[in-house]
Structures are given as C-alpha cells and as structure tokens.
C-alpha cells in the first residue's frame, strides 16, 4: 500500500471517529475546520416533532429550497407505531405542505384505511427530503445528506415499532445505496434498531397501469407482513 493511500485511510478513520463523537454530543479533543460545518447536521436534538420543525425553520441547507412553495415536514401521530417514509414531496404536496396528498397519496391512504383498517392519522408519514425536487426528479446526494439528520431525529422522537420505506430512494437512504427495491422489497431489514419493510412507492403503481394488479398484489403482501408484526388482523 502506498504511503499516501495509507495516510488517507487513517485520516478518514479519524474523521469518522470525530463525527461519531459529535453525533453523541461529545466534544472531540480537536475539531479541524473541515468538520466544523458538519456539526449542525450530526448534532441535531429536539424534544418533540414540533420542536424539530422549528429547528428546521425556513430551511436553506441545500439547493432545493430555491424552488419550493412550502416545506413538507410530515404529519400523523407523533407516537405512531407505523412510520411511512417516501422520497420527497411532489407538486400537490409542495402546494399543500403535507406529504402524500396527490394521486399516489390517495392510494397510500386507501392502503392504510381500507387495507390495514387504520386511520391515516394513526400512522406517521414523511419523506427523505422535505422540499420538492424540480420536476419530481430523484433527490441528489447533497440534498439527501442535508435532510437525513432531520429524518433520523423524526424516527428517534416517534420511536415507531415498524418503518415502511416507500420506493427505492427511501430504502437506499436507510438501508444502503446498494439496495435494489425490485429484488429486496418484502424482506425485513433494520434501521436504528427498528424493523424496516421496504415496498414499492404508490407512485410507481400509478405510473405503471399495465402492471397495476401485479404491483398492488406485491405491496399488499408486504403490508400484510407489517400488519402481522403489529398484531393487526389480516382480513382474507
């Protein structure tokens, strides 16, 4: 191994250790300038979802803020047993400031209410990024990195019994970027010690009407696993 390569490995390990200390609220023995700007994103703590929303404020931590109408924080029971996490707000969500209120949102509501026998207000729904990406494109890496600390804090505050990730982006942000939704949906994983069930995003079903029956069947199979985990009756 070349000396420069070895030095970079050591340097990166030191950086990870410092950031881990900061994440736990510990003061590191030294803090290089290159890490000072990262403190805000790793040391966020709030006593409630309302307090966290105030901390986010009129967020301008990434470029998505320039095109948004409203920031979409999330909604639902602050102590929900089930947390749904999508990718990001769409046009309707951007206008109303609420997650999953468009066509895909109406499908998710039917899954929750008609399928699971719950009320939408019984669960909590949010997204990886809180501002709408232009033309509903996939959020870019710097955008998700700016929002992930807030998502982690939402999860810590809510303490759900189960997380359901909707679509590829949310699954990859929680479970690793090598995650393949078409191959690994429907299999239990874990994030922050919480069981995670990845499934398709409702928008994926909406965009593929020729496969609607097939995709709905797969999502329903995943939802039934969640219901069993939560002790909910699965109706035949």
pLDDT along the chain (236 residues), means of 10: 53 51 46 42 79 95 96 98 98 97 97 97 98 96 96 98 97 94 96 98 97 97 98 87
Query: Do 73 and 107 belong to one domain?
Result: yes
pLDDT at 23: 45
For strands 162-166 and 82-86, give the pairing. Answer: parallel
**Beta-ladder partners of 190:** 195
Evaluate whether 45 touches 150 at the Cβ level (below 8 Å): no
74 lies in the same domain as 191: yes
Q: Which two tokens stand for residue 76?
A: 């639902």
Contact 74, 126 (CB under 8 A): yes
Would you state the structure tokens that stand for residue 52, as one six-digit string? 């966290």
Place of tokens 């982006």: 169
Looking at the chain, which runs of residues are DSSP E strands? 75-76, 82-86, 124-127, 162-166, 189-191, 194-199
- pTM for the structure as a whole: 0.82
Assess if residue 53 is contained within a domain.
no
Determine the structural domain holding residue 199 and report its residue range: 59-230
Per-residue tokens: 42: 């790793």
Clarify whether residues 15 and 85 are in a common domain: no
On whether residue 49 sits in a domain, the answer given is: no
Q: At what angle do helices 168-175 and 141-158 cross, to 10 degrees?
A: 70
Give pLDDT, residue 195: 98
């Amino acid at each position: 191994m070349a000396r420069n390569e070895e030095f970079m490995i050591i340097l990166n390990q030191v950086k990870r250790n410092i950031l881990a200390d900061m994440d736990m609220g510990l003061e590191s023995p030294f803090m290089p300038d290159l890490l000072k700007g990262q403190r805000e994103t790793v040391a966020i703590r709030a006593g409630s979802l309302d307090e966290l929303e105030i901390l986010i404020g009129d967020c301008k931590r990434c470029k998505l803020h320039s095109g948004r109408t409203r920031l979409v924080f999330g909604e639902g029971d602050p102590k929900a047993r089930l947390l749904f996490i999508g990718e990001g707000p769409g046009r309707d969500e951007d206008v109303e400031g609420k997650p999953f209120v468009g066509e895909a949102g109406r499908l998710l509501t039917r899954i929750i209410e008609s399928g699971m026998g719950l009320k939408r207000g019984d669960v909590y729904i949010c997204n990886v990024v809180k501002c709408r990406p232009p033309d509903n494109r996939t959020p870019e890496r710097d955008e998700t990195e700016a929002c992930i600390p807030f998502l982690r804090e939402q999860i810590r505050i809510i303490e759900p019994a189960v997380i359901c990730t909707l679509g590829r982006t949310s699954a990859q942000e929680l479970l690793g970027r090598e995650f393949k939704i078409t191959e690994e949906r429907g299999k239990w994983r874990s994030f922050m010690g919480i069981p995670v069930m990845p499934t398709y995003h409702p928008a994926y079903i909406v965009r593929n009407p020729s496969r609607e029956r097939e995709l709905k069947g797969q999502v329903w199979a995943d939802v039934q696993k969640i219901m069993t985990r939560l002790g909910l009756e699965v109706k035949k």
